[in-house]
Chains A and B, each alone.
Chain A
Amino acid sequence: MSKVRVLVGTRKGAFLLSSDGKRDKWDVSGPHFAGWEMYHIKGSPADPNRLYASQTSGWFGQVIQRSDDGGKTWFQPGTPPGEPTTGPGGMPKGESNKFVYDTSAETGKPLTTHQFYDGTQHPWEFKRVWHLEPSHSDPDTVFAGVEDAALFRSADGGVSWHELAGLRGHGTGPKWQPGAGGMCLHTIIQDAKNPNRIYIAISAAGAFRTDDGGKTWRPINRGLRSQYIPDPEAEVGHCVHHVALHPSRPDVLFMQKHWDVMRSDNAGDSWHEVSGNLPSDFGFVIDVHAHEPETIYVVPIKSDGEHFVPDGKLRVYRSRSGGNEWEPLTKGLPQRDCYVNVLRDAMAVDSLDSCGVYFGTSGGQVYASSDAGDSWNPIVRDLPAVLSVEVQTLP
């Protein structure tokens, strides 16, 4: 029987939640890396035992962790315990937490500035890894989306990292600016049918696409409208919170913008709003059903000033028509006195026949639905605030 493994990153450690295909009984493992902010943990589609984790701290900076046994044991790539830490020439084997912007003349871009909170220009400074996206085909290849916004790639299992500098060096860089959480690159989506195409999203710059494997990038924000920036329909500067697609239709994108739920049917060349009858179209997460490309999920949040669900009710909204018409999913979710948030990377779907949907809250609950959202149960209720949720469907 198939199994699922839910990878949960929280403000104070990582947790792995495992169940068989029925998804009614769960084993909880953790906290791993207790006390550290675990921004994101994700497994390789090519080798499910290969997990990558972003471990960060305001005191000690960035650490990358890797597991090769499905989360039983972890190590920092390049420095596994007991192995020599230098190569034959005496050079360090790897520095898995070394994220240095590429300013070389051959492959890089000059370190420019971006717009800061006060409107002045500010130099790029690395702060942390928000999102790790393993390659579809190679367990040793993984992308990292970082703050200040840039995209890095490792081809040696996380031992060393190199920036795809064409993105940070994009001419619009001086117009990018940090959102409330920092200027983060939080979404990385590889086109399963076309390895040269990657989508990324930055808060607050917008969405970008490469069609040449990351050498050059173009903003894909036409149709987005953000009322409070100087030009509401600017090429860049939009606070995109998350983007999702169904692997079978890589040209159809769904976006939760700061305000507005958006849809593109042409790989981001243009967008139109599909917020429809949502009680609030502010939110962070958005995801797509594993088997129904027109079924999408969001969790409306009251406003950017009040980061909690409207009316004290935790409701996932599902559209079976690719947007515009939404139904609230409430069975098993608290419908009074609930004031949690659900952050941008904190929703995921499994690929079992009856699609499982998972999300984590700022209150430390991780909810699971084994019937595509019709009903929900908490797997755990009292973790630290949840930053990210990913799920692996295992044989």
Chain B
Amino acid sequence: MIRVILPPHLRALARVNGEVVLEVEGRVTLRSALDALEASYPMLRGTIRDHVTQQRRPFLRFFACSEDLSLEAPDFPLPAAVVAGDEPLLLVGAIAGGEPTAQKQKRRDSRRAAKIAS
């Protein structure tokens, strides 16, 4: 089982709230992970990869384990931690400009909580 985190607009299309958990058959690569994602959520076809060329949409990026995998070949094997389900594969809409307010607040809160605890 692998974990995939979608950008908010694709979560809305797929009608899911949190991360997505997928069973991937065989070798776990970018291609097989996205194939499994689209098989479970066919409404996402064409929104991540072009229908015809299967190329990644230019403003979408793939990250895992703090590595940018966007420019890797489709059959690039995903890191072991992703295959084991310890780390998620992140699909990120490429936007420069910072962190959403809710996320920022969450980070501040956890920092404050850690400070109080220490």
Q: Which residues of A contact B (CB under 8 A)?
A: 33, 35-36, 57-63, 76, 78-79, 81, 85-86, 92-93, 95, 97-100
A63 near B47 (CB under 8 angstroms)? yes
A59 near B59 (CB under 8 angstroms)? yes
In the assembled complex, the CB of A108 is this many whole angstroms from the nearest CB of chain B, namely: 14
Q: What is the count of residue pairs linking A and B with beta-carbon distances less than 8 angstroms?
A: 54
Chain A, residue nearest B59 (CB): A59
A339 to B96, CA, bound (A): 30
Q: Which of A78, A81, A97 contacts B47 (CB 8 A)?
A: A97
Q: Count contacts on B: residues with CB < 8 A to the other chain.
A: 21
B42 near A92 (CB under 8 angstroms)? yes
At the interface, yes or no: B104 with Cβ under 8 Å from chain A? no
Q: Is the interface of A mostly helix, strand, loop or mixed?
A: loop
B51 near A100 (CB under 8 angstroms)? yes
Interface 9-residue window, one of B7-15, B17-25, B65-73? B7-15
Sample of 27 A–B contacts (CB below 8 Å)? A33-B12, A35-B8, A35-B9, A59-B7, A59-B57, A59-B94, A60-B10, A60-B13, A60-B48, A60-B57, A61-B46, A61-B47, A61-B50, A61-B57, A63-B43, A78-B42, A92-B45, A93-B42, A95-B46, A95-B51, A97-B45, A97-B46, A97-B51, A98-B51, A99-B51, A100-B51, A100-B52
| B8 partner residues in chain A, CB cutoff 8 A | 35
At the interface, yes or no: B77 with Cβ under 8 Å from chain A? no
A58 to B9, CA, bound (A): 12
In the assembled complex, the CB of A268 is this many whole angstroms from the nearest CB of chain B, namely: 34
In the assembled complex, the CB of A150 is this many whole angstroms from the nearest CB of chain B, namely: 14
| A59 partner residues in chain B, CB cutoff 8 A | 7, 9, 57, 59-60, 93-94
A62 near B46 (CB under 8 angstroms)? yes
| A62 partner residues in chain B, CB cutoff 8 A | 46
Interface centre among A61, A81, A85 (most CB of B within 10 A): A61
A81 to B93, CA, bound (A): 24
| A86 partner residues in chain B, CB cutoff 8 A | 42
Chain B, residue nearest A80 (CB): B43
A93 to B43, CA, bound (A): 11
Q: Which of B9, B13, B59, B94 contacts A76 (CB 8 A)?
A: B13
B94 near A79 (CB under 8 angstroms)? no
In the assembled complex, the CB of A225 is this many whole angstroms from the nearest CB of chain B, namely: 39
Which B residues, 23 to 62, have Cβ-Cβ distances below 8 Å to chain A?
42-43, 45-48, 50-52, 57, 59-60
A62 to B57, CA, bound (A): 12
| A63 partner residues in chain B, CB cutoff 8 A | 13, 43, 47
